[in-house]
Amino acid sequence: MHGSIARSVEEPMKLLSTILIGLFALPRLSAEALPELAGHDFFYAGEAKTQDLYIVRKGEIVWSHHNPGSRGEISDAVLLSNGNVLYAHQYGITLMDAGKKVLWRYETPEGCETHTARPIGTERVVFLENGRKPRCVVVNVKTGKTEREFPLEVGNPQGVHGQFRHAELTTAGTLLVAHMDHGKVAEYDEHGKELWSVAFPGPWSASRLPDGNTLITATKLIREVDPAGKTVWECTPADLPGLDIRSFQISTRLPNGSTLINNWVNSWSESLDPDKVPEQAYEITPDKKVVWKLDAWKEPANLGPSTTIQLLDKPDAPEARHFGGFR
């Protein structure tokens, strides 16, 4: 037993070292470190008219993927510790390696949408499917077999696009779902039993913090609530004077207590004039002081609209989560 546990820890770390070496060996996509990309290493993607993903290290774009003829927006993307990339793009979900070889792909059925997918180890993915019969699905990406699915409640079964945008696995092995059109955030076990919920207007995303609180994000509101649903901290655009906040989508609580928030710009409703669009992301302290901002709209560092920003300052393994008995 102890030997197998040791191997399960050792092997991913060896793989992580190999991938990190490989990433640094990739040709640099920006000729030199750019000040607008400095401050954090990160993996980046956003809802836009094209599908674009980036890895930024030490102020340089070291990896990118572009699919200009794509159909569907990227609402969720994860960089695994082995260098694989998992991303949900509205009409499908793709898992590819660092060399951009597709390892697994899910094609969303007609009339449905998939905006969020999270890895469970390296062999499984859990995702939500918007539709007239919305559901949560666990798939084995090695076999292609669906190993679990259960229905989810929504506010409007006919309004497919607005049902869900983001879900996240907790360290307890549960799934935290932002019911965007149902006005709540709910936590589910692997069988679909609701374990906890809190009312919240139009939640876009939610994450469980180490102390048991939950950080919830809507387009104009970020709020931290305790297990009883009581507000312990929140942030609105009014708390950030001088900033042009268009739309919050995902917020992340950092180990230093600050909060990383994205500022999404809708490329379908306005032109992305680099001299007029606001910064794509901010790091703010608990008292809402801005200590870092991302303003990367101009070539050669044009990252486009922001939705998800996964910090890479320290090695991490997002796939090291379980969903009940699925590991």
- pLDDT tens figures, 193-213: 999 999 999 999 999 999 999
* CA distance linking residue 265 with residue 249, whole number of Å: 10
* CA distance linking residue 131 with residue 114, whole number of Å: 9
CA 192 to chain centroid, in Å, comes to 22
Q: What is the pLDDT of residue 29?
A: 54
- What is the tally of structural domains in the chain? 1
Do the domain assignments include residue 196? yes
Residues 197 and 185 sit within 8 Å (Cβ to Cβ): yes
Q: What is the pLDDT of residue 4?
A: 35
Do the domain assignments include residue 286? yes
Instruction: Give the residue ranges of the chain where pLDDT is below 50.
Output: 1-28
Do the domain assignments include residue 318? no
Domain CATH number, residue 194: 2.130.10.10
Q: What is the pLDDT of residue 18?
A: 41
* CA distance linking residue 74 with residue 49, whole number of Å: 9
Residues 41 and 312 sit within 8 Å (Cβ to Cβ): yes
Q: Which residues contact 98 (CB under 8 A, 6 or more apart)?
A: 19, 22, 23, 26, 63, 83, 84, 85
- Structure confidence by residue, pLDDT tens digits, 303-314: 999 999 999 999
Q: What is the pLDDT of residue 70?
A: 86
Q: What six digits make up the tokens of 26? A: 């990739």
Q: What is the pLDDT of residue 14?
A: 46
Do the domain assignments include residue 326? no
Do the domain assignments include residue 317? no
* CA distance linking residue 210 with residue 186, whole number of Å: 17
- Nearest Cα to Cα of residue 115 among 247, 215, 219, 205: 205
3-class secondary structure per residue, the chain: CHHHHHHHHHHHHHHHHHHHHHHHHCCCCCCCCCHHHCCCCEEEECCCCCEEEEEEECCEEEEEEEECCCCCCCCEEEECCCCCEEEECECEEEEECCCCCEEEEEECCCCCEEEEEEEECCCEEEEEEECCCCEEEEEECCCCCEEEEEECCCCCCCCHHHCEEEEEECCCCCEEEEECCCCEEEEECCCCCEEEEEECCCCCEEEECCCCCEEEEECCEEEEECCCCCEEEEECHHHCCCCCCCCCCCEEECCCCCEEEECCCCCCCCCCCCCCCCCCEEEECCCCCEEEEECCCCCCCCCCCCCEEEECCCCCCCCCCCECCEC
Do the domain assignments include residue 324? no
Q: What is the pLDDT of residue 281?
A: 98
Give the residue numbers spanning the domain of 133: 2-311
Do the domain assignments include residue 316? no
Do the domain assignments include residue 323? no
